[in-house]
Structure formats: structure tokens, C-alpha cells
Amino acid sequence: MGDDFDLVVLGAGPAGEKGGAQAAYFGKRVAIVERQPEPGGAAVHTGTLPSKTLRETALFLSGYRQRDLYGVTVDVSPDLAISKLIARKDAVRGLETARIRHNLERHGIELVRGTARLVDAHTVEVSGEGAPRRLGAEVFLIATGSRPFRPPGFPYEDPDVLDSDTILRIDRVPESLTVLGGGVIGCEYASMFAALGVRVHLVERRSGLLPFLDQEMGEHLRKAMTTLGVVFHLGTWAEEVRRGAGPGLVSTLTSGDRVTSERVLIASGRVGDTEALDLPSVGVATNERGHVVVDEDYRTTVPGIYAAGDVIGFPALASTSMEQARVAVCHAFGFEYKRQVASLLPYGVYTIPEVSCVGLGEQEAQRRGIDVVVGRGFFRENARGQIVGDLEGMVKLVFDRTTRGLIGCHCIGERASELVHVGQAVITLGGTVETFIEMVFNYPTLSESYKYAAYDALAGFGSA
């Protein structure tokens, strides 16, 4: 068979791995091309898992969860902190890359090391250490992911000016940090470093944080991060970042403020990582941010070439990337197994505190003309919340007054990204406020907050 395959996947991140495995499961001959030394993509090496691992390590080293419970004050040595952060990150990365390699091997997928370039709609050339190798395939799946967007005008050559990739290679915890960008990545790193005692300033063009969140949750997060020590500069941006007369970098804001810090993190989103593929030469269309243009079946503008994951843009989540790739492969080969990605997607923001949501926020539902009833269950009134010391967390449920059905679930606090799946299941199955009233929850658990949020909503229904 040589170098002829049924499917060649470009990129071994979450989309590439799952798309390749889906095809191999149904008996297709698959190769995955990856230019990095190990599979996993940004999710394993520079994004999802490293940042979340750093977050958990920061929480542990700083004693954040124990401060209010036991009056513990932890003085974290910067040298100790960074060595522990890096060691734990590397350990998790090693375990995950080993899992991916095992998964590819058991599905009989060939992992080809090198940089891919599309020659035509059915041929890719892979350049590595030896002579270039050409792979032919009936179908290609582009899953090369994304890289940090670097807006022009900033001194990236300065070793203290970082993006969301290079910040993972810092040699020590800085005394101060300015974060330019209040999106998910910016907020996550700002809260993480603040927990370690770093003086953090966060600059964001918009007047609020994370507009996709329910407005109440966004404001709750801002207040919590302020308590953590993050200083916000909202509705402004950095005109310039440069070395000052003294130590540190000076960020001059459009508001007229000047912020001095040891390091600057520029978190301005991401762009599709497609340059090496030479997509224009074969007619695959991309947008201004390098994202591959696809239709509802993840087909590109060239027949036989599909794309999935971060490389196609929003929502750019590892969870959705995997599903997109599975759907793309099933469509490409005519498998009836899985033909669409669920429309109801949960979002997790791994800030301190954690935030997660699924479905409609209160304001979005109202904008759609839905008469809503809202219920809240507070962790401070929950036995498990008192045990773990999270007195600020809550579960917020949004119901349709007419149908009494749950249409939105929003969680903030300890294990929010786990808790939200209860709400997701109820929405998916068409549950109502009575569903939670009838359910029995373990005691003591944070999940019990759902029942009390439902009781809270009942009062709103009663006043109709």
C-alpha cells in the first residue's frame, strides 16, 4: 500500500487524534502528520492542560483554598513555585502524550513526523529530517490548530514581553505582571498569578469581562478577581509598551494611565496555524485570521479536504474540536454514526474562581423575547460549600416562564466546570423546574445547590 491512505490528518491535537481514531475504528487506513516532537497539539503542550495544571499548582502552593478556612498565610518562594509549576506541568504532559501515542497505536494509525505542505487535493508532502515524503489520500483533515495572535506595535523581541505560549517558559514568578487582554486566556493567567502573590494589572478594551457570560456571572467574577488583587483597567488599551527609565516595562494606556510591571503578557486571541500548509495553492479558503473556511459538514472549499478544531475558529474548545473532527470524518466517508455536533455546548473558564455556563444567560434570553424566571443556589448556604470554604460560589438557573423548562445554567466557584454538566443534562432532556425539586442529591454536595436554586425559582413562578 506504500504511502497511500484513506485519510491523512494534518495535526495531532484533540481534533486530529479523535478524527483519525474515528476513521480507523471503521477500518480506514489513517496517517497523522505532526511537526512537533510529540502529539497533543496546543491542548497538551501550550494551552488547555498546561494552563489548567499551572492553575491547580498555583492554588496548592499559595494555600488559596485554605486561607479563609484556617487563617493560613503562605509565603511562596518564587524559585520554589516556578520549579514546582514546571515539574507538575511536565508530568501531566508526559502522561497525556503517552496516552495519545497508545491510542494511535491501538487503532493502527501511522504517526508521521514532519511539516506538511499540500501539493494538490490528494497529495501532501512531509518535510522532516530525511528526504521529503509524499502521502496520498482520498480525504484530508486539516487540524493544525492555532497560535497566539500578536497585534503589531509591541516589542516582542524583549524577553519580558510574553504571549500565551512563551509565558509557559518563564524562569521565575515575576513580582508584577500586566496582562493586555481580558478574554478567557487573559483572565485565567491574571487570576493564577494573582493567587501566587504577583501584582497583576489587567487591561481590556471592553467595559466588562467575558461578554459571553451571563452579566451577573461576569460581574461576580470581576469582584472575586479584584479581591484576589487584580487591578482592572477596562475600556482602555495599551498604546505602547517600552522599557522605562527604571526597571520594568511601562504600558501607556489610551486612558492616559501608565502601568509599570516586570513582565507583560499579551493575550489578544489566536489565529489559525495554516501558513506552512500553502493552502492558497490548492484553493482552500481562509479568513483574515488564518482560520479555514468550512460549511456545516466541515468541508473546505476544496472537495475531499475537511477542517476541524481551533484552525476553523470559534468556539475553539478542545471538547468541540474533538466532536467536529468526528463529524467531519463521518461525513467524508458516509458513516451514519455521527453526523452533527450538539448545539448545546458547555463553556468552562478556569479562572479563580472557576466559571462555567451552558445555554442562555438571563439577558440573552430576554433579548430573544423569552419571559424568564431565575433561581439561585448559594454555596454559603450549602453544607459542602461551608466545608470547602467557598462562600462566594453559586449556581444560577434560568427558566422559561411559559414552559417552566430550564434554558440556561451558570456556575461560579469550586468545581463549576464539573457542576455545569448537571444543568446541561437537564436542558438536553427537556427538564423543568420540577425536575430539580423531585431529584435527590447526595448530602453534603455542591450539586445540592441545584435543588435550592430551583426552590428559589419557584417563588418567581408563584408570583406570575
Beta strand 249-253 with 238-243 is antiparallel
Judge whether residue 245 has pLDDT over 90. Answer: no
Length of the chain: 464
CA distance 14 to 300: 19
CA distance 347 to 87: 28
Mean pLDDT of 252-257: 96
Judge whether residue 262 has pLDDT over 90. Answer: yes
pLDDT score of 187: 95
In degrees to the nearest 10, what's the CA dihedral of 137, 140, 143, 144? 70
pLDDT score of 1: 46
Mean pLDDT of 95-104: 95
Judge whether residue 70 has pLDDT over 70. Answer: no
**Mean pLDDT score of the chain:** 92
Q: First CA to last CA across the chain, in angstroms?
A: 70
Mean pLDDT of 413-429: 96
Sorting pLDDT into bands at 50, 70 and 90, what band is 338? Answer: confident
Nearest CA among 177, 182, 173 for reference residue 200 = 177
| pLDDT one-digit tens code per residue, 152-184 | 999 999 999 999 999 988 888 899 999 999 999
pLDDT score of 47: 80
3-state SS of 180-221? ECCCHHHHHHHHHHHHCCCEEEEEECCCCCCCCCCHHHHHHH
Element (H, E) at 127: strand 123-127
Burial class (CB in 10 A: 0-12, 13-18, 19+), 73: exposed
Sorting pLDDT into bands at 50, 70 and 90, what band is 45? Answer: confident
Nearest CA among 194, 165, 159, 156 for reference residue 178 = 194
